[in-house]
Amino acid sequence: MISNLETAENPEKLKRVVIEPLTRVEGHGKVTLLLDENNQIRQARLHIVEFRGFEKFIQGRPYWELPVLVQRLCGICPVSHHLAAAKATDMLVGVKQITPTAEKIRRLMHFGQTLQSHALHFFHLSSPDLLFGYDDEVRHRNIIGVIEDYPELAKKGVLLRKYGQEVIRLTAGKRVHGTGAIPGGVNKSLNTDDRNYLQKDIKQIIEWGEDAVELIKTIYHEHPDYHRDFASIQSNSMSLVNARGEHELYQGGLRARDAQGGDIFDHVDGVRYEDYLCEAVKPWSYMKFPFIQSLGQEQGWYRVGPLARINNCESLSTERAEQQRLEFMPLENGQPVHATLATHWARMIELLHCAEAIEQLLHDEDILGHDLLLKGDMQARGIGVIEAPRGTLFHHYEIDGDGVVQKANLIVSTTQNNQAINESIRQVANNYLSGHELTEPMLNQIEVAIRAYDPCLSCATHALGKMPLEIELLDADGNSLSRIRKQASGEICLGR
């Protein structure tokens, strides 16, 4: 850990460098660096500057609205929130197992969403750094530069994403913010025209998925030391796995492993997440800091997402993706891979897996079925756990006897990666920036580290009432007239 860079002793005496806004990430954030007179980095923090509040304002709403309301947290991975909330509401309506058609339609939707999200991240957001280098000219280091220099590659990225969006449209009703999953099942299945339409292009999508893995593999091996060491941190990992220990995105048990690959817990029912995970609050961030209870806050932080999932699973259920996993794992001689930039590689293996899994489901007659919905006996508490593209996602709701939401707790992937992202930027700040005169390309390295996690900062700042808040009233000249601050403890301070 490089946590000694979290808080400097005398911040008022240090130079402050701010990277704001962070670019090519989902949502709004900034990084602050504090430097001493010798340009040594003394403090490095990732801040989230937006504020949402979903956990609060869904209180008082009826539970059946949750899958549709809460997905509005995000425009990139709304399906993850849609399905996590739907799973939680399955539990509220007393349905332990939805129908085969409903489960396969939801899985199809989820594979489509992970495919499009991973394609968006790799091709649109990260490929400029990977193809041109972090120090490429700013005006060229973006998706337009990729379109100019690698038009075929850029086209594949766009069409991969389009295909995933089409899967979502046909299963959820709309490409963004659909209504397909409802408490106890789904509201539609596919018809044969829908299936034929998706089958038409799936072989091409799989080929392109495989090309994407080959591309990132080549990029990685061109500079193996850089990719292995840059922003690399030793961390615990958590993900879902199925009963056989296979990679799982929709339904499975929680598995947490330490940095050496040793079990911390395994096959834990996500409903019991509160027995295993805690969330810490820090006064300088809107984003919480989850950790594994048994290891404590200092040692218990962990990583979720593609790298954690590939590290944690015994295998992938699809042939080509599994072959790629077998080529990936020897990077650290069978030990967990902690190279943060290897997350891109793991992500593309998952993209390929999603494409193959979609093809399998498109051959399954259950997706054409009409048995869509089940009802059971109402329960007061519902918890849904799913693997979103960026990592494990928890939705927890409690309702009263009238069906109205009384309590909500969402633990999103980026929040669970909070400490890991902070550790990575501190590693970069310490190893690559400290002691140097800072330039734009050097600062971009901080962003390169953050981008590897594909953080969604909009999703990550959903809470209300648990983090410090400050509101300042300024006059027309920018002078402070009054200020009110709510501490993490809940104490309210007034002042000028």
Distances (CA, A) of 452 to 126, 390, 434: 8, 10, 21
Residue 403 within binding range of other proteins, rule CB under 8 A: yes
75 lines the binding site for other proteins (CB under 8 A): no
Length of the chain: 496
Does residue 180 bind other proteins (CB under 8 A)? Answer: yes
Q: Measured between alpha carbons, how far is 368 from 102 in angstroms, rounded to an integer?
A: 10
Q: Taking the CA atoms of 69, 73, 78 and 83 in sequence, report the sign of the dihedral they define.
A: negative
Q: Which of 23, 39, 187, 204 binds other proteins (CB under 8 A)?
A: 187
Q: Which is nearer to other proteins, 156 or 177 (CB)?
A: 177
Contact 162, 112 (CB under 8 A): no
Query: Whose structure tokens read 């983090």?
Result: 467
Q: For strand 381-388 and strand 302-303, is the pairing parallel, antiparallel, or unpaired?
A: unpaired
Among 30, 56, 61, 486, binds other proteins (CB under 8 A): 61
Quote the distance between the C-alpha of residue 430 and its chain's center.
Answer: 25
Reading the block at residue 435, the tokens are 């002691």
7 or 187: CB nearest other proteins:
187
Q: Which of 53, 62, 151, 261 binds other proteins (CB under 8 A)?
A: 62
| Minimum distance, C-beta of residue 377 to other proteins, in the bound complex (Å) | 12
Residues that contact other proteins, how many (by CB under 8 A): 27
Q: Which one among 183, 252, 336, 382 touches other proteins, defined by CB under 8 A?
A: 183
Query: Which of 104, 121, 188, 282 lies at the binding interface for other proteins (CB under 8 A)?
Result: 188
Q: CB of 408: closest distance to other proteins in angstroms?
A: 15
What is the closest distance, in whole angstroms, from the C-beta atom of residue 138 to other proteins in the complex?
A: 35
Question: Is there binding between residue 68 and other proteins (CB under 8 A)?
Answer: yes
| Binding region for other proteins (CB under 8 A) out of 22-30, 373-381, 430-438, 475-483 | 373-381
Min dist CB 164 to other proteins, Å, is 18
Instruction: Work out whether 166 is an interface residue with other proteins (CB under 8 A).
Output: no
Residue 65 CB, shortest distance to other proteins, in Å, is: 6
Q: Is residue 281 part of the contact set for other proteins (CB under 8 A)?
A: no
Shortest approach of other proteins to residue 337 CB, angstroms?
Answer: 40
Give the closest residue to 409 by CA, choosing from 425, 398, 420: 398
Nearer to other proteins, 225 or 402 (CB): 402
Q: Would you count residue 182 as binding other proteins (CB under 8 A)?
A: yes
Pick the binder of other proteins from 19, 22, 33, 69 (CB under 8 A). Answer: 69
Q: Is 367 in the site for other proteins (CB under 8 A)?
A: no
Kindly tell me which of 181 and 450 has the beta carbon lying closer to other proteins.
Answer: 181
395 binds other proteins (CB under 8 A): no
Q: Which of the stretches 175-183, 217-225, 310-318, 380-388 binds other proteins when contact is defined by CB under 8 A? A: 175-183
- Region from 203-211, 213-221, 402-410, 425-433 binding other proteins, contact rule CB under 8 A: 402-410
Give the residue with the Cβ less far from other proteins, 170 or 438. 170
Report the candidate in 346, 348, 341, 307 with the shortest Cα–Cα distance to residue 230: 341
- The verdict on 404 binding other proteins (CB under 8 A) reads yes
Q: Is 82 in the site for other proteins (CB under 8 A)?
A: no
Quote the least distance from Cβ 373 to other proteins, whole Å. 7
Decide whether 60 or 490 has the Cβ nearer to other proteins.
60
Applying CB under 8 A, among 23, 39, 59, 179 the residue interacting with other proteins is 179
Full DSSP string of 287-338 = S-EEEEGGGHHHH--EE-SHHHHHHH-SB-SSHHHHHHHHHHGGGGTTSPP-
**Complete DSSP assignment for 465-488:** SSS-EEEEEE-TTS-EEEEEEE-T
- 3-state SS assignment for residue 393: strand
**Residue 214, beta-bridge partner list:** none
Beta carbons within 10 angstroms of residue 1's beta carbon: 16
Report residue 248 as tokens. 């799982």
Peptide bond into 21 cis (omega under 30): yes
Q: Which is nearer to other proteins, 53 or 403 (CB)?
A: 403
What does the angle CA 129 – CA 131 – CA 332 come to, to the nearest 5 degrees? 80
Compute CA 377 distance to the chain's CA centroid, rounded to the nearest angstrom: 33
**Do the strands 302-303 and 236-241 form a parallel or antiparallel pair, or are they unpaired?**
parallel
Q: What is the 3-state secondary structure (H, E, C) of 338-350?
A: CCCCHHHHHHHHH
What's the rounded Cα separation, in Å, for the pair 144 and 238?
35
* Binds other proteins (CB under 8 A): choice among 10, 37, 38, 60: 60
Cβ neighbours of 33 (radius 10 Å): 24
* Tokens standing for residue 340: 């943060």
Write out the residues near other proteins by the rule CB under 8 A.
60-62, 64-65, 67-69, 72, 93, 172-174, 177-180, 182-183, 187-188, 373, 375, 378, 402-404
